[in-house]
Amino acid sequence: MRINKKMKNKVSKIGVLTSGGDSPGMNAAIRAVVRTGLYHGLEVFGIMKGYQGMIENDIVKMESRSVANIIQRGGTILKSARCKEFLEYEGRKKAYNHLKEKGIDGLVVIGGDGSFRGADTFSKEFDIPCIGLAGTIDKDINGTDFTIGFDTAVNTAIEAIDKIRDTMDAHDRVFIIEVMGRDAGYIALHSGIATGAETILIPERKTNIDSIVNSLLEKERRKKLVNLIVVAEGHESGGANKIQEALSAKLPNAETRVCILGHIQRGGSPTCIDRVIASRMGFHAVECLITGRYNVFVGIQNNRMNYIPLHDAVKEKGKISEEWLRIVKILAS
């Protein structure tokens, strides 16, 4: 176990916050942090609206009943926000002073790589140990097989696409479904494979519109008139509407429709997987603070806990392997 020798004082009061985009399962993680902390005799504080709440001193003490009946709820009871002021040293100093006033000497940050970057900087400047939990539907954090919210978001997308397929079949249409994923294509990849999409477009891979046109023409020759295209919002094409424009120009007789799923992917009751991994990660986050394993991101790989230094976790995004891309190519043919 890597013990941080610089931060020698034992943690006695911890804060937990959710930062950046919300994701289903964040409440389960909050619940686990609070109840594990209380079990070990720590005082636990909830920081509202992420780093913004640290700066505004919007910090509340939490008890076991504070997190009762929340494990099944989407969103986050602590709210979330993106805070520009925290990017500046003066903002971080203000946040630190508020933590110091309450005696908070450890933090659990639930969010994505931007949240981890802020936690890493904050910890180095003010000697506050921080633990990161990956709360993001994008699953783009390196070092973990799961991120809190991804499974729920994918299942939401799958449910919507399955329903859209019914109307596609009834009218022999080409449907272009846009899912979330500004920088990462995991939601598009998984939901596309699970719904039998003929084409999956992700930011990690360049796709020429002409190749899509040729594929549709080839399928038309085989009398396959129903075609599903799943595209991540961050694909170089510019999203579903841009793809429809390009296809309509080259295939004027094709009946194309667009559906942008948008923020419904962020909401809803978390799946069993998201509730369990969030609970497991939250439990181990507190265990890290108690045992002196500081400034790490807590992930799960091969069903085992995986601990990566925060500064390493934000250096490299999770990458989609060539195996996945081969599966897409072969199964969509």
Residues annotated as catalytic are 138
Angle between the N-to-C axes of helices 150-171 and 272-291, in degrees from 0 to 180, rounded to the nearest 10: 160
- Where residue 168 falls (left for φ over 0; alpha for ψ -120 to 50; beta otherwise) is alpha
3-state per-residue secondary structure call for 276-289: HHHHHHHHHHHHHH
CA end-to-end span of the chain, whole Å? 48
Helix (H, G, I), strand (E, B) or coil at 312: helix
Q: What is the per-residue DSSP string for 209-224?
A: HHHHHHHHHHHHHTT-
Question: What is the 8-class DSSP label of residue 197?
Answer: -
Q: Are 148 and 274 in contact (CB under 8 A)?
A: yes
- In the numeric block, the tokens 């636990």 are attached to 44
Give the other-Cβ count within 10 Å of 246's Cβ: 16
- Determine the Cα–Cα distance for residues 62 and 44; give it in Å rounded to an integer: 6
**Could you tell me the CA-to-CA distances from 120 to 127, 251, 301, 310 in Å, in that order?**
10, 51, 22, 6
Question: Which of 247, 244, 235 has its CA nearest to residue 187?
Answer: 235
Helix (H, G, I), strand (E, B) or coil at 68: coil
Question: What is the 8-class DSSP label of residue 143?
Answer: T
Helix (H, G, I), strand (E, B) or coil at 331: helix
Q: What are the beta bridge partners of residue 62?
A: 44
